[in-house]
Amino acid sequence: MTAIDRPTTARVPDTAVARALAWLQVMFWGAYLLVLVKLLVAGIKYGGFGFQPFGTDPTLYDPKELFGWGVPEYILQAPLDIVVIFGTVPAALILLASLPVAGMLWRARAPHRWVLTVSTMLNLAFLAVQFTPFHTLIVEWMLD
């Protein structure tokens, strides 16, 4: 029997583990994506990004009052604030846990390997943005 004919003995992680890691990562990069959508809506609504802290216009538009829903908007904004402002360390830990699992999925050629891989890459992008001046402006805007 040649090496090609031998069955692979690669250890495949439980699908539930890979799925849970992917969903945890979606929580982080998905929250940041929602904040970026809110920023885009604010830019469209107020005629560009000249408002504080992105521009020189002294007006500071509150992201919690963007749609004018009142208290429900404050309640919906709170988890976004928490994840975007304090999510760096948990997202990094989840990324570190996901890398070996994604590697095992690829070695075993598991059919769901792309889900965790794409989510891990987006989580890595979320973490990279956390260390940029743009993120500082986002946090300043969110905390107004």
Is the residue at 6 inside a domain? no
Is the residue at 21 inside a domain? yes
| Polymer length in residues for the chain | 144
Phi first, then psi, for residue 107 (nearest 5°) are -65, -35
Is the residue at 3 inside a domain? no
The whole-model pTM stands at 0.79
Is the residue at 123 inside a domain? yes
- Number of separate domains in the chain: 1
Is the residue at 137 inside a domain? yes
Residue 105: CB atoms within 10 A of its CB come to: 24
Task: Please give the chain's pLDDT, 144 residues, in tens.
Answer: 555 555 555 566 678 888 999 999 999 999 999 999 988 888 888 887 777 777 777 766 777 777 788 888 889 889 998 999 999 999 999 999 999 999 988 888 887 889 999 999 999 999 999 999 999 988 888 887
Which pLDDT does position 8 carry in this prediction?
56
Which pLDDT does position 118 carry in this prediction?
94
Structure tokens belonging to residue 84: 């975007």
Which pLDDT does position 140 carry in this prediction?
86
Say how far apart CA 90 and CA 60 lie, in whole Å: 30
Residue ranges making up the domain that contains 83? 15-143
Closest CA to 127 of 35, 25, 17, 21: 25
Is the residue at 40 inside a domain? yes
Is the residue at 81 inside a domain? yes
Is the residue at 2 inside a domain? no
